[in-house]
Chains A and B, each alone.
Chain A
């Protein structure tokens, strides 16, 4: 781990503790103390990588979209924070090679399986390529959930807010494979993806929030119908 990585992690922890109403970290015992592992978290804020980096018990090499590296200053920092680029407009074989090489070296890798931040706080579909890589890697997969970061700095906002409580939860490791061949691996893909999704929904608190969706939607229907005849017809 670079000196820069360590020098960033500690003050970042303090910044989160100062700027948030509460910081809770759970399940760090699930992160292997030695050997390779893959962390797959939900992605709800630009602050997620910093939160994860600063509170993870082991350093994480994070797959990061290539456009983040286009500015020289950002590139300098990201390289030292163990980030590596992925081009999102093509199947990036080099990014896959870097993941497998890093895991072979016994290190931790972080990939956001949704591929981008959520606009509305809900977990998005997972990228098929990430699920394939998860099965191909043959290392412990740590599902991870972050909660409250959307309140702190959602994708649509141009600045963060204070006062949110944030939670980072590492789940129990999942083990997949080994698979005899590519066909066997592809056959396992849907079930593995569903299991990962279920775990992240629980760990990120979305499973809990989903229980009130129906009731809340009904309340919104009531608001929409409220005295509607007094207003003009909407333009669509």
Chain B
């Protein structure tokens, strides 16, 4: 995981995708480079373009990407729907185990099934996990898992994975070995936000521990 997880598209010109080069991000369109600035305590990213350099706060670059449409810029189809796919490793939560320490119940933790390599597709209001037919585990060759955006009742992101809850259908965790987890967090949030608005449910205020709208 590197800076291209955060800057998955160019904050200056909107180019998507960008190129990750060691500790740098390079934009093949406007030829800007981005890298962590020397630490000053001010969360800065060094931006260099055409011989000019500026150390900007990371939040400003992130907000520019958001203003450019975030992950939707690349995924938006002419008919308006979002469409994207990525190689993933999926894990389903099969159960929850109690966690005790010195006879005291500390809480519950999810038990994760084995990883299922496959492809995740987002297409409008639908998502689909297609397990890799050549995968080496039990899920290989099994049918696809499909659900609608409406079914997602919470969304959480860690540094390496996106986790969605599908109510009674359980919890699924996705890792993105070849793509930015930040991009997919943004994509799914946008798809959910647009769907909730279209259904007249209002603007989503929180995505976890459950989706809550105005």
Contact = CB atoms under 8 A, between A and B. Distances in A.
B14 A220 contact: no
B49 interface: yes
A227 B14 contact: no
B contact patch SS: mixed
A188 interface: no
Contacts of B209: 87-92, 127, 129
A128 B49 contact: no
Contact of B210 (A91, A166, A209): A91
Nearest to B65: A120
B208 A156 contact: no
A79 B109 contact: no
Interface size, A (range): 35 or more
Contact of B43 (A87, A94, A115, A120): A120
A contact patch SS: loop
Interface stretch (A49-57, A134-142, A146-154, A191-199): A146-154
A66 B98 CA distance: 11
Interface size, B (range): 35 or more
Interface stretch (A10-18, A32-40, A176-184, A211-219): A211-219
B6 A234 contact: no
Interface in B167-198: 171, 173, 182
Interface of A: 21, 44, 46, 65-67, 69-70, 75, 79, 84-92, 94-95, 98, 115-117, 119-122, 125, 127-129, 147-148, 150-152, 154-158, 161, 163-167, 205, 209, 212-213, 216-217, 219-220, 223-224, 226-228, 231-236
6 contacts: A84-B107, A85-B99, A89-B156, A94-B105, A148-B39, A236-B69
